[in-house]
Amino acid sequence: MQRQTFVGLRCIVGVFPLMLAIAGPILADSPPAQRREATDFVTRALKAETAGENPRRDALLDLALEAAPVYPPARWHSGYVKADNRWVKFDKVSSSATEGERLAVYH
């Protein structure tokens, strides 16, 4: 069981840099050098997370946001979502009136 978990984590850690490399340049508004630096920080943060080093993960994500404040992977993994075309913490997102109306119709 332990061996399978390690192999699974290795696969996850291996896939994240690929996802970041593909999604980062397409989605980010930051200059290339800042994106590369932020990508490196996010990759290292995700590796720290898989090792159970959450304080280090948070510190690396903070560095990624300093390097490229609008870099989507850094925002996503820091608990932000894009709402009304701006980044907000996931717990601060309020539902819009149209969502409320659609929900009422659904019920």
pLDDT in tens, 50-87: 999 999 999 999 999 999 998 999 999 999 998 878 88
pLDDT at 25 over 50: no
What pLDDT is recorded for position 77? Answer: 94
89 or 26, which is more confident:
89
What pLDDT is recorded for position 67? Answer: 94
- For 70-73, the CB contacts below 8 A with 24+ separation are 70/28, 70/29, 70/30, 71/24, 71/28, 71/30, 71/34, 71/35, 71/38, 71/39, 71/42, 72/23, 72/24, 72/27, 72/28, 73/19, 73/20, 73/23, 73/24, 73/38, 73/39, 73/42
pLDDT at 20 over 80: no
